Amino acid sequence: MLKNKFIKYLSAEKRFSEHTITSYSTDLDQFSIFLTEEYQITDEVSEISFQIVRSWIASLLEKGVNPRSVNRKISTLQTYFKFMIREKIISESPMLKIVAPKSKKRLPVFIEENQIESLLNEVEFDEGFIGERDKLIIELFYVTGIRLSELINIKIFDINFSNSLIKVLGKRNKERLIPLSMNIVNELQTFVKKHNLNNYLFTNLGGTKVYTKLVYRVVKRYIARISSVNKKSPHVLRHTFATHMLNNGADINAIKELLGHSNLSATQVYTHNTIEKLKTVYKQAHPRA
């Protein structure tokens, strides 16, 4: 299925993140197994029809795969077959008639402002380098809204201490500058000087940069102390950043830029949380509600 060449294309030309590329690779492997088992198709991409793709989608839904996950797999195949057309392997994509299943919109999970304040001001972190690092990780997620992949790759020279800015490398290698409060700037400066850091901002005791699972564990551990939300991931802190910004009157276009979204629709999902909060206030305060 020319998978390896396609994966190189995603990395080199489309500049997809490592996480996205892994997801695309997994989707293609699953589709390839289906083709082999159900239709005895191995390498002949031209034999893949609209009906075959539709039967795979139907089988996924019958197995109880979430429609959101199915839609991501459809997106994978759409990108894959466009690449096949570009490579002149096929002349038409079998995805043209595919209709994506409707998925229920889920509101982004976020943490309440008083809970975040409790986490940053009252919860006791471990002593020494590890505790200071873990608290800064959580605080930086919350005050900037950056992604996990962006955080673990921050280097000392990415922080402009004099202008209170931090530079991050987002999806598809797009750089953006995010303002920092004087409080976090001072904390970062103290942390860097105290531990004589000169490369990556967040490292383990051995000096190598933190890895994904470690940061997940840190965030989950401390969010669990102040909140009962089901999801306790770094992305929840990103959702929290955006929701709190909107709730406090920030312009949605400014939030879009801060989050590094390529289009406004990705940011508008956070307005639903704001509307739900207004509904709650209305019901609690209005005598006829």
The helix/strand/coil state of 165 is strand
Burial of 242 (0-12, 13-18, 19+ CB in 10 A): buried
171 is a catalytic site residue:
yes
- Where in the chain does DSSP place strands (E)? 159-160, 165-169, 175-179
Q: Which residue is catalytic, options 147, 232, 244, 256?
A: 147
270 is a catalytic site residue:
yes
Q: How far is CA 34 from CA 1, 28, 40, 75, in A?
A: 13, 10, 9, 17
Query: Longest Cα pair distance anywhere in the chain, in angstroms?
Result: 68
Q: Which residue is catalytic, options 167, 221, 235, 277?
A: 235
Rounded to whole angstroms, how far apart are CA atoms 148 and 226? 21
Q: Which residue is catalytic, options 135, 232, 238, 244?
A: 238
235 is a catalytic site residue:
yes
User: Taking Cα atoms as reference points, which of 108, 110, 142 lies closest to residue 272?
Assistant: 108
Report the relative pairing of strands 165-169 and 175-179 from DSSP bridges: antiparallel
54 is a catalytic site residue:
no
106 is a catalytic site residue:
no
Q: Which residue is catalytic, options 54, 171, 195, 277?
A: 171
Amino acid (1-letter code) at residue 203: T
Rounded to whole angstroms, how far apart are CA atoms 101 and 114? 38
| Cβ–Cβ < 8 Å for 77, 27 | yes
Q: Which residue is catalytic, options 72, 195, 220, 261?
A: 261
Cite the active site residues.
147, 171, 235, 238, 261, 270
